[in-house]
Amino acid sequence: MRPFGYLTPPDPAAAIAAVTGRPGATFLAGGTNLVDLMKLGVATPDLLVDVTGLLPGRIEPVPGGGLRIGAGVRNSDLAADPRVRAGFPVLAQAVLAGASAQLRNMATVGGNLLQRTRCLYFQDVTKPCNKRVPGSGCPARAGDHRNLAILGGSPHCVATHPSDMAVALAALDAVVHVEGAAGPRALPLGELYRLPGDRPDRETTLERGDLITAVELPAPGLAARSAYRKVRDRASYAFGVASVAAALDVDGGVIRDARIALGAVAPLPWRARAAERVLAGRPATAEWFGRAADAELAEAAPLPDNAFKVTLVRNVVVRMLCELAGTELAGAAS
Amino acid sequence: MTARVDGPDKVTGRARYAFEHPADGAAYVWAVPSVIARGTIRSVDASRALALPGVLAVITPDNAPRLPGTGDPELALFQTRAVAYRGQFVAAVVAGTLETAREAAGRVVIDYERAPHDVTLTASHPGLYKPDFVNPRYETDTAAGDFDGAFAAAAVRVDATYRTPAEHNHPMEPHATVAAWQAGTLTVYDATQGPSRAAGQIAAVFGLEPGQVRVIAEHVGGGFGAKGMPRANVILAAMAARVTGRPVKFAVTRPQMFAVTGHRAPSIQRVRLGAGPDGRLTAVCHDVIDQTSTLKEFTEQSAVATRHMYAAPHRRTTHRVVRLDVPTPSWMRAPGECPGMFALESAMDELAAAFGIDPVELRLRNEPPVHPETGQPFSSRHLAGCLREGAARFGWAGRDPAPGVRREGRWLTGTGVAASTYPARAMPSQARVTVSPSGRYQVSIAAADIGTGARTALLAVAAESLGVPAAAIDVSIGDSALPPAMIAGGSMGTASWTWAVIKACGALRDQVRARDGAVPPGGLTAHADTAADIGALPAHARYAFGAQFAEVRVDADTGEVRVPRLLGVFAAGRIVSPAQARSQLIGGMTMGLSMALHEESAMDPQFGDYPNHDLAGYHIAAHADVQDIDAVWIDEEEPELGPAGAKGIGEVGIVGTAAAIAGAVYHATGIRVRDLPIRLDKLLT
């Protein structure tokens, strides 16, 4: 094996300093993705800086009714938290839809956000991949891409972000707290990720040494009427083929507000703002839900083997919004 | 009901699998797989690997020992510079630790002369040819009557093409070996389904006498055919042990198992059925297109079951195969019957739909009185009984045949049925039984327990034959030093082994009786060999049969398929060990469900490999996919196949499951999926 160092710094500042100053260093939390990537030779850190004991491991209320979730909170604890289950059901459902119980016991909130794509070419070091080796090429477009992106991809990369949790957080307008060499900062989840463009190796806006310390959820509001639906190729323990996180506020049959995010269809958790814009102020009918989905999917650029995802996402969006609104499905057909 | 005798050892971790056997001073091997699908190795630069401290050897085509026996090209490791498929082992590192061997393997630089590869099976591939026989030795083509004329004249016809993808066996325990040489003899602890066969083949590869190789396989973590014959792992471990003079341990990785340990080849199967207005088949034709590697011919016998399933005067079966630059296919649970019966039984369902005849009734109307091709009588055939019993238990009566009309919430629901079959055979085996003056019995046979419960079954049979409590008997299996026996494969283990064990037990009992029950101080020993008995079997048609019933739900929005209910009813002669038999039948059905909905090794023509080469990418059914599943059997007396009358149940459980589920999916949705697996995108509307 390739030797690497292992460091357990006394505090976050020391951890940040250790990673900032060393290009081959990386943070280790639950390790459920990083260790796999090291075994595959995809990740080759020369120093692991273990932050599992350093990150906040608690979920705490914040003024105004929101929750602050420590980046070290285990996925299983997040999904089981009564405040999360009651106020943000979409989040609890999304976390439970991911991985297995054993993995959720290990995986942390911060690590979940930063997990890497499961694109088969990214994981195989004997093959080209622009994300792993910039400029080497992308075999996925002509090869296996059934599970890859229909939205937000580029000629250089059509990888999908694999997280379920992040899709729910995108719908919830979560804010990510980051500590770095330049001090703490907060950014909306949507600003954490980058689209691949011609640099698919750069997946986030984080700088070397930046450490996610917490994720903050704003007050529940419409999140209390929210849900997550993951479609996958077997009944459990599989990455999504497509997923939808949605929250809806309906008053007297009219949509006041809607939040929709899509998973497993884009390089990042995909906030469906075009769909949301269509819905605001419209009747809560299957017809309008379908129009909203169509507006979002208008810019889809599927490949031959994942074109079905367009129909799939539309069907799931309509079905979920109908269920959240208590609307009959009839009339949704395009 | 007998509890599994090795259960406590397994759950407490005392049971040792191949790789776990301790070996003093063991070295470790890591294999280097080819990254091209076809070409030649120009040169190997091992210098960076050899520079790592702890590396003992880098074995390449340049320095590998010459192997005298290269009859099986898959075992002729490093004997040529030609590359036949991506993932083929082309070099290996031996080191003092596993980690060092692995790191060094990544430092071996191989310069390839690449050649264009062809890895895509098509129905019109110009390289398709008629092999001399199909696995294992069946006739390639058969015909009777005038199929073309009868099909053209049939009142109702089905002409459909079905496709099954490449599938991999994936036992939980990977192929693994511990090998050690001592004074010219080789001892290997190997994950194998057949110690006797493995010892013979390994000896042949190294040019040794059979007695110079001993293969021990005390516990084996599944095989499903993949461990039926020796694989590259055992040859590599033995070669590395010889080169380094140390015992060597080697385990194939899961990704490597997608290339070097066998798999089920993809198939393209055209089935044509013609029937008269009464629903009786007049014409049956099954044409199979299959692939193999350039290294070795293996043609899966997918049309063979069609030869005996249903009566029809005019019939034909054919197999064609093409050699591609792909890994070598091999045995995977019910090779032939499993993919072939997906096609035939799906076509029967289509014929039933075309007629408006109930699919159970259609099958009952076409029961043959004798083997429809050879005219041989069936030793016992109870397909009709399985269909009737299954229909009653499942609640089949009154089923509305209309497709796509039942809905419960977001679910479309449907039911389906298919028949199962598998040959009932036995192969010559030997057994030894001894008794000591203290009344302790020892049963010895080189059988293998690959998780099926073979030890338990043999103990039960021996106790019954000897007329003594099981507690007085020790059963030794899993060692080629024991009397040679058939492999745990082809659903022949129980029939073959119990035959020899019962015969030896009977002979021992006779000896004891002749001495009026007095066992001399040295004990008594009886030995049995069933070769002559099996040679004298009448030329009859012997098969196990079954009927499988499936209920499915299909999500109307997403196409997701769930199987809330799966029932199999089987007729397989005497069931020797009921608890273990039920597990094995349910296991087969689960694997069939997995085949129906999940399993696919998708070839990437760019690279010539299966890119989904791990268990995250290659889906098998998860627990949540298997809901109410049950296997039962009807009483059946098999008069010919040995004293136990056991037909074998290792494979019949997987046969027909996929067709029953595909039929149920059609019943639920109106969509006929003819290419497996039935993934959600094929049902999305």
CB contact under 8 A, B623 and A316: no
Confidence of residue A333 (pLDDT cuts 50, 70, 90): very low
CB contact under 8 A, A237 and B622: yes
Q: Is residue B226 domain-resident?
A: yes
Whether the ω angle into residue B377 lies within 30 degrees of 0, i.e. cis, is: no
Q: Which of A212, A211, A194, A190 is nearest to A203 (CA)?
A: A194
Q: Is residue B373 domain-resident?
A: yes
CB contact under 8 A, A1 and B103: yes
Q: Which of B519, B414, B504, B607 is nearest to A121 (CA)?
A: B607
Last residue of a domain, one of B491, B514, B535: B535
Confidence of residue A66 (pLDDT cuts 50, 70, 90): very high
Distance from CA of A182 to the nearest CA of B (A): 38
SS3 B49: helix
- Co-location of B505 and B569 in the same domain: no
pLDDT of residue B384: 98
Q: Which listed residue (B74, B173, B373, B651) is catalytic?
A: B651
- Co-location of B316 and B271 in the same domain: yes
pLDDT of residue A331: 43
pLDDT of residue A334: 40
- Co-location of B447 and B565 in the same domain: no
Q: How far is CA B429 from CA B492, B493, B504, in A?
A: 11, 10, 11
Q: Is residue B46 domain-resident?
A: yes
- Co-location of B519 and B477 in the same domain: yes
- Which residue in A has a C-alpha nearest to residue B103's C-alpha? A1
Distance from CA of A305 to the nearest CA of B (A): 9
- Co-location of B88 and B204 in the same domain: yes
Whether pLDDT at A329 is above 60: no
CB contact under 8 A, A139 and B606: yes
A11 Cβ under 8 Å from any chain B Cβ: no
How many C-beta neighbours within 10 Å does residue B130 have? Answer: 12
Last residue of a domain, one of B260, B277, B308: B260
Whether the ω angle into residue B65 lies within 30 degrees of 0, i.e. cis, is: no
A141 Cβ under 8 Å from any chain B Cβ: no
What secondary structure does DSSP assign to B399-465, as a single string? Answer: ----TT--EETTEEEEEEEEEEEEE------EEEEEE-TTS-EEEE-----SSS-HHHHHHHHHHHH
Residues in chain B whose beta carbon is closer than 8 A to a beta carbon of chain A?
A: 35, 99-100, 102-103, 106, 410, 557-560, 562, 597-598, 602, 604-607, 611-612, 616-617, 619, 621-625, 679-681, 684-685
What is the Cα–Cα distance from B86 to B32, expressed in whole angstroms? 11
Q: What is the CATH number of the domain that holds B452?
A: 3.30.365.10
Q: Is residue B61 domain-resident?
A: yes
- Determine which helix (DSSP H) or strand (DSSP E) holds B597, and give its type and residue range: helix B578-597
CB contact under 8 A, B679 and A233: yes
Size of interface A-B (CB pairs under 8 A): 76
In degrees, rounded to 5, the angle at the alpha carbon of residue A135 between the alpha carbons of residues A130 and A140 is 35
CB contact under 8 A, A144 and B557: no
The residue written with tokens 């769909």 in the block is A275
- Determine which helix (DSSP H) or strand (DSSP E) holds B28, and give its type and residue range: strand B27-33
Spatial strand order in the sheet of A47-50: A5-7, A47-50, A25-28
- Which residue in A has a C-alpha nearest to residue B600's C-alpha? A233
* Contact criterion met (CB below 8 Å) for B112 and B40: yes
What is the Cα–Cα distance from A332 to B179, expressed in whole angstroms? 65
For residue B494, the Cα-to-chain-centroid distance in whole angstroms is 15
- Which residue in A has a C-alpha nearest to residue B606's C-alpha? A143
CB contact under 8 A, B35 and A311: no
CB contact under 8 A, B680 and A315: no
Confidence of residue A2 (pLDDT cuts 50, 70, 90): confident
Give the domains, in start order, of chain A with CATH numbers. 5-50 (3.30.43), 59-114+163-217 (3.30.465.10), 221-325 (3.30.390.50)
From chain A, pick out residues whose CB is under 8 angstroms from the CB of B102.
1
Last residue of a domain, one of B233, B260, B287: B260
- Which residue in B has a C-alpha nearest to residue A309's C-alpha? B681
From chain A, pick out residues whose CB is under 8 angstroms from the CB of B412.
none
> What's the pTM?
0.97
A315 Cβ under 8 Å from any chain B Cβ: yes
- Determine which helix (DSSP H) or strand (DSSP E) holds B635, and give its type and residue range: none
Q: Is residue B73 domain-resident?
A: yes
- Co-location of B152 and B186 in the same domain: no
**End-to-end C-alpha distance for chain B, whole angstroms:** 49
- Which residue in B has a C-alpha nearest to residue A312's C-alpha? B558
Task: Say whether B361 is catalytic.
Answer: no
pLDDT of residue B408: 96
Q: Is residue B78 domain-resident?
A: yes
Confidence of residue A328 (pLDDT cuts 50, 70, 90): low
From chain B, pick out residues whose CB is under 8 angstroms from the CB of A231.
558, 560, 680
pLDDT of residue B210: 86
A6 Cβ under 8 Å from any chain B Cβ: no
Q: Is residue B3 domain-resident?
A: no
- Which residue in B has a C-alpha nearest to residue A313's C-alpha? B558
Q: How far is CA A103 from CA A32, A112, B37, B173, in A?
A: 7, 11, 36, 22
Q: Which of A142, A268, A296, A302 is nearest to A200 (CA)?
A: A268
pLDDT of residue B301: 98
Provide the 8-state DSSP code for B194: -
- Co-location of B576 and B491 in the same domain: no
CB contact under 8 A, A124 and B611: yes
- Co-location of B408 and B438 in the same domain: no
* Contact criterion met (CB below 8 Å) for B676 and B342: yes
Of A120, A237, A308, the CB nearest to B617: A120
Interface of A with B in 18-57 (CB under 8 A): 41
What's phi and psi for B434, nearest 5 deg? -125, 155
Consecutive 10-residue averages of pLDDT for chain B (685 residues):
87 96 97 98 98 98 95 96 98 97 97 98 98 98 98 98 98 98 97 97 96 97 97 98 98 98 98 98 98 98 98 98 98 98 99 97 98 97 98 97 96 98 98 97 98 95 96 98 97 96 98 95 97 96 98 98 98 93 97 98 98 96 97 95 93 98 98 98 95
Amino acid at B458: L
Number of domains in chain B: 3
- Co-location of B282 and B378 in the same domain: yes
- Cα atoms in the 13 Å half-sphere on the side-chain side of B526: 22
The residue written with tokens 């048609």 in the block is B541
Phi-psi region of B156 (alpha: psi -120 to 50; beta: other; left: phi over 0): beta
Q: Is residue B127 domain-resident?
A: no
From chain B, pick out residues whose CB is under 8 angstroms from the CB of A127.
607, 611
Interface of A with B in 177-206 (CB under 8 A): none
Interface of A with B in 89-108 (CB under 8 A): none
CB contact under 8 A, B622 and A41: no
Whether pLDDT at A323 is above 50: yes
- Determine which helix (DSSP H) or strand (DSSP E) holds B41, and give its type and residue range: strand B39-45
pLDDT of residue B25: 96
Interface of A with B in 214-233 (CB under 8 A): 231-233
CB contact under 8 A, B680 and A241: yes
- Determine which helix (DSSP H) or strand (DSSP E) holds B603, and give its type and residue range: none
- Co-location of B150 and B175 in the same domain: no
Distance from CA of A62 to the nearest CA of B (A): 38
Of B562, B611, B680, the CB nearest to A143: B611
- Co-location of B446 and B561 in the same domain: no
Tell me the pLDDT of chain A averaged across its residues: 95
- Co-location of B411 and B273 in the same domain: yes
What's phi and psi for A200, nearest 5 deg? -65, -15
Residue ranges of alpha helices (H) inside A237-307 are 273-279, 286-297
Confidence of residue A332 (pLDDT cuts 50, 70, 90): very low
Beta partners for B184?
Answer: none
Cβ neighbourhood burial of B137 (10 Å; 0-12, 13-18, 19+) = exposed
What is the Cα–Cα distance from B574 to B524, expressed in whole angstroms? 30
Residue ranges of alpha helices (H) inside A88-146 are 89-96, 101-106, 109-113
Range of the domain at B33: 18-116+170-260
Q: Which of B105, B104, B95 is nearest to B27 (CA)?
A: B95
* Contact criterion met (CB below 8 Å) for B232 and B74: yes
Whether pLDDT at A38 is above 60: yes
